[in-house]
Amino acid sequence: MSARRMVMKRPPIETSGPSGPAVIGGDRAIPVLRGRVQAAAPLAPFTWFRVGGPAEWLVRPADDADLVALLAGLPAGMPLTVLGAASNLIIRDGGLPGMVLRLGGAFGQVRVEADGIVAGAAALDVTVAQHAAAAGLTGLEFLSGIPGSIGGAVAMNAGAYGAEVKDVLDWAEIATADGIRRLVAAELAFAYRHATLPAGAVVTRARFHARPGDAVSIAARMDEIRAAREATQPVRARTGGSTFKNPPGRKAWELIDAAGCRGLTQGAAQVSEKHCNFLLNTGGASAAELEALGETVRARVLANSGITLEWEIKRLGEPA
């Protein structure tokens, strides 16, 4: 068994304290932070699917300075994974090696301005939409239909209901080993479900522009989005959102349905009968079952239509 495996198997511990070295695996060291550092930390409770193995190290920095110190002191070659709301993610059953970064606390603050919202990366998209609505600002209602956090929304150029982050973003602040930088929207080179960030950068906050609007109309639009989601998607199930990207000019769910995959199961994993581009953990599914079911769907769609579906859900980590 390798040293890394031995580290991942030991019981969870937490450390905190002033800046200084903490030895990991004998010769690898990261700074001891003012935030929390936990070894062999369970990750399944953080994911919408409720599956997956542990993080070798789970780190929750206290603030920007703590995060920059962490990135600057990260051992060469140590994997770094940023975990947001984990709403579109399968963490494999063997867990994530290296360091998993989860932002919270100070990174979840939301500030309302006269013509926009400044939100931390850990703030939920729906929370930002609600703050804007309460302030009588329109243009951000679409965020109420995106199940995730602001950091992920920026990094993925999240979109729904006719709008995308690129349409409303003024700037995003990112942390790197060299400090905090502010990038305007044009510098992120947005594309479909993608933003171009510097290597190793972590989104910490962002500003979205909005405009004064009618409170009744804003509330009505958000109610419309909520009703549409509940009517067409398994929003109360253990799921991960849209599983596959829509091919050009086609709908993934239609291809899946035509291939006879609606309701298909593998173990406790199931293709949703309500919206067949959603996978479900019906209770006790493993990450391996969910991923294998997705691959079965891809194979059946390819055989039926000649189209290869691309995963939209991220799949990270090691098999059991």
Q: Is 156 part of a structural domain of the chain?
A: yes
Write down the pTM of the prediction: 0.85
Whether residue 119 is found in the same domain as residue 225: yes
Provide the domain count of the chain.
3
Q: What is the pLDDT of residue 28?
A: 58
Question: pLDDT by residue for the chain (320 residues), tens digit each?
Answer: 333 332 333 444 445 444 444 544 444 566 778 999 999 999 999 999 999 999 999 999 999 999 999 999 988 889 999 999 998 999 999 999 999 999 999 999 999 999 999 999 999 999 999 999 999 999 999 999 998 999 999 999 999 899 999 999 999 999 999 999 999 999 999 998 899 999 999 999 999 999 999 999 999 999 999 999 999 898 888 999 899 999 999 999 999 999 999 999 999 999 999 999 999 999 999 999 999 999 999 999 999 999 999 999 999 999 99
CATH number at residue 296: 3.90.78.10
Q: What is the CATH number of the domain that holds 53?
A: 3.30.43.10
Domain final position from 175, 196, 231 = 231
Residue whose token pair is 């984990």: 86
- CA gap 173, 66 in Å, rounded: 15
For residue range 73-102, what is the model confidence (pLDDT) as tens digits?
A: 988 889 999 999 998 999 999 999 999 999
User: Would you name the residues annotated as active-site residues?
Assistant: 193, 242, 312
Domain check: are 153 and 169 in the same one?
A: yes
DSSP the chain: --HHHHHHHSPP-EE--SS-EEEETTTEEEEPPSSEEEEEE--GGGSSS-----EEEEEE-SSHHHHHHHHHHPPTT--EEEESS-SSEEE-TT-EEEEEEE--GGGG-EEEETTEEEEETTSBHHHHHHHHHHTTEES-GGGGG--SBHHHHHHHT-EETTEEGGGTEEEEEEEETTEEEEEEGGGG--BTTB----TT-EEEEEEEE-EE--HHHHHHHHHHHHHHHHHHS-TTSSB-S--BPPPTTS-HHHHHHHTT-TT-EETTEEE-SS-TT-EEE-SS--HHHHHHHHHHHHHHHHHHHS--PPB-SEEES---
Q: Is residue 245 part of a domain?
A: no
Mark whether 92 and 34 lie in a shared domain.
Answer: yes
246 belongs to a structural domain = no
Pair (112, 95) in one structural domain: no
Give the model's pLDDT for residue 76.
Answer: 86
Give the range of the structural domain holding residue 227, as residue numbers without chain letter: 108-231
| Residue 72 lies inside a defined structural domain of this protein | yes
Which tokens in the block code for residue 305? 């239509």
Q: Which of 198, 231, 264 is the last residue of a domain?
A: 231
CATH of residue 216's domain is 3.30.465.10
> Last residue of a domain, which of 64, 84, 102?
102
